[in-house]
A and B are shown apart, each in its own frame.
Chain A
């Protein structure tokens, strides 16, 4: 931390005379080492071809996106269109009445039946046809709590399946009977968008799910009321991913994970309609 001027030193007292310039108080520390010319390459944004971390996009024709844009979108709009429909206002924070001076600066009450204000549900038009925005994968592994090297294989497994680099996740709290300690790595997560997302979706619907014998479909109860649907895969199901299936001896331990389909739909019903039209069965 290099501050421009330190007032704790007494050298100025030793000097003859005093400065007429107003002292500058640098409250923001400046890390001068980060401004080295050698680091200049790292400042280039990653979508620039000169950047070290550049990864080309649109490497192949995206047929899932093509299907959505050309076939599904218009059908979904027609299916979800309702005559004379109006915006359904979600329950919001309730302000206090003005009948008492004690209520004057109170914080507003929670919405009825919810902890936080709910979003409005707008009628579906050509502007807001539900679409799949991202797929989020979350892997929590209990084994990684006991043996920390296990977390390497969890990340390797997810990176193999998804073609994206997963982030480590850490425990947030201490629960001693579960051997959960704060700050301990306990799995990984990754958020897939665009090509990676559609590639993962087509692998899942065409190669993996049809071969899982016990799979009856995603539960109809799944959903967070905001159009995001989650389901889980067991460690036994993971071996049907082609990246893992052909090299089974390289993966002695497999890990199940949760998959969340994040959609721009406002309700779970709309999200289910979208996902089932993309080839995911519901039970």
Chain B
């Protein structure tokens, strides 16, 4: 059944509908762990290593093979339990080449040449060798160092949100005619201000939130930038994290949308 409501002429003005785009760049690397959490994981990990079974050396490095020889060079056997001797630091409890009083520490042969202190000896000739040591890239990028807020390559461990400057900082908002769906309005608006070089993923055609004003309703469309870049003409824009967003947006407005945002 269709219900048609007739408004009185005094309140005949329909609210204007606008579509706000929450365009985010998802984190690229894992989040920074708080010190307590890191310590907890370290503790559990050490406990796990302490309770681990003895490494089956006889399986991975068979006797008489080349690998066995390399393994023996790196791992010296534990102190022999001589029944005729007294040990000041307790009698060794040896099973399968392991002192069971302690956790087992195993040095495995590396695929690259190693110096005495464990650092890699870099061979200039074979730089792109697959067996080279894996060194992770820095978590801090150039954009972080130069504090370039308009770069997409800043704060890799956090979610970034797009804000633009149109009479003050705000999330990109587009007025809707009543015909076009909200997510289409947001898409067209984004391409209009930022060029078509942006590859984005719209999470859903349904809005994730709305704010009702006296004469306007603002709907929020959620989407992620996957690749490309936001390149507007004569428009200031920033990619900021959730914490930084509170500095740029109106306080009341931020409180109303803060539950939509990820760290």
Beta-carbon contacts under 8 Å, B1-59 to A: 26-27, 30-31, 33, 37, 40-41, 44-45, 47-48, 51, 59
**B203 in contact with A75 (CB, 8 Å):** yes
Indicate if the CB atoms of B33 and A58 lie closer than 8 Å.
Answer: no
Taken together as a complex, chains A and B put the C-alpha atoms of A57 and B30 apart, in Å, by 20
> Which residue from B41, B48, B159, B204 sits with its C-beta under 8 Å from A61?
B41
Shortest C-beta distance, A56 to chain B (Å), equals: 4
B263 near A61 with CB under 8 A, answer: no
Of A55, A57, A63, A78, the residue contacting B204 (CB under 8 A) is: A78
* Chain B nearest Cβ from A220, distance in angstroms: 20
Let me know if A59 and B262 touch, CB within 8 A.
no
What residues on B are CB-neighbors of A66 within 8 Å? 30-31
Give bound CA distance, A75 to B206, whole Å: 11
In the bound complex, residues from chain A placing their C-beta under 8 Å from that of B122 are none
A59 to B159, CA, bound (A): 26
Q: With A66-B30, A70-B262, A81-B206 in contact, is A75–B60 under 8 Å at CB?
A: no
B40/A63 in contact, CB under 8 A: no
- Decide if A250 is an interface residue (CB 8 Å cutoff): yes
Confirm or deny: B208 has a beta carbon within 8 angstroms of a beta carbon on chain A: yes
B-chain residues with CB within 8 Å of residue A56 when the two chains form the complex: 44-45, 47-48, 51
Taking a contact as CB atoms under 8 Å apart, the answer to whether B45 and A59 are in contact is yes
Contacts of A63 in B (CB 8 A): 30
Question: Does B154 lie at the interface of the complex (its beta carbon under 8 Å from any beta carbon of A)?
Answer: no
* Docked CA distance A178–B208 (Å): 57
Q: B60 is contacted by which of A58, A71, A74, A247 (Cβ under 8 Å)?
A: A247
| Interchain CB contact (< 8 A) of A55 among B26, B48, B59, B206 | B48
Closest to A72 in B: B26
A225 at the interface (CB under 8 A from B): no
- Measured CB to CB, the closest approach of chain B to A104, in angstroms, equals 42
CB < 8 Å: which of B31, B44, B51, B204 contacts A81?
B204
Q: Chain A 64-87 against B: per-residue CB contact (8 Å), 1 yes, 0 no?
A: 001000110011001101010000
Q: Which residues of A contact B159 (CB under 8 A)?
A: 71
Bound together, the chains give a CA A74 to CA B45 distance in angstroms of: 31
In the docked arrangement, what's the CA distance between A81 and B209, Å?
A: 13
Contact between chains at A54 and B51 (CB < 8 Å): yes
Closest Cβ neighbor of A57 among chain B residues:
B44
Contact assessment for B203 and A78 in the assembled complex, using a CB-CB cutoff below 8 Å: yes
Q: Which residues on the A side are within 8 Å of B40 (C-beta)?
A: 58
Assuming the contacts A55-B48, A56-B48, A71-B26, asked whether A78 and B206 have C-beta atoms less than 8 A apart, the reply is: yes
Residue in chain B with minimal CB distance to A79: B204
Write out, one digit per residue, whether chain B residues 219-263 have a CB within 8 A of any chain A CB (1) or not (0).
Answer: 000100000000000000000000000000000000000001011
Q: How far is the CB of B183 from chain A (nearest CB, A)?
A: 11
Contacts of B263 in A (CB 8 A): 70
Query: Does A100 sit at the interface, judged by CB under 8 A?
Result: no
Q: Which residue of B is nearest A70, CB measured?
A: B262
A60 to B33, CA, bound (A): 11
Contacts of B44 in A (CB 8 A): 56-59
| Cα distance, A202 to B208, chains bound together (Å) | 29
CA distance in complex: A57, B43 (Å): 11
Q: List 25 A-B contacts (CB under 8 A).
A: A55-B51, A56-B44, A56-B45, A56-B48, A58-B40, A58-B41, A59-B45, A60-B41, A60-B45, A61-B30, A61-B33, A61-B37, A61-B41, A63-B30, A70-B27, A70-B31, A70-B262, A70-B263, A74-B262, A75-B203, A78-B206, A78-B208, A78-B222, A79-B204, A247-B60
Q: Measuring CB to CB, which residues of chain A are less than 8 angstroms from any residue of chain B?
A: 54-61, 63, 66, 70-71, 74-75, 78-79, 81, 83, 247, 250
Which 8 residue pairs spanning A and B have beta carbons closest together? A56-B48, A56-B47, A59-B45, A59-B48, A78-B204, A56-B44, A79-B204, A63-B30
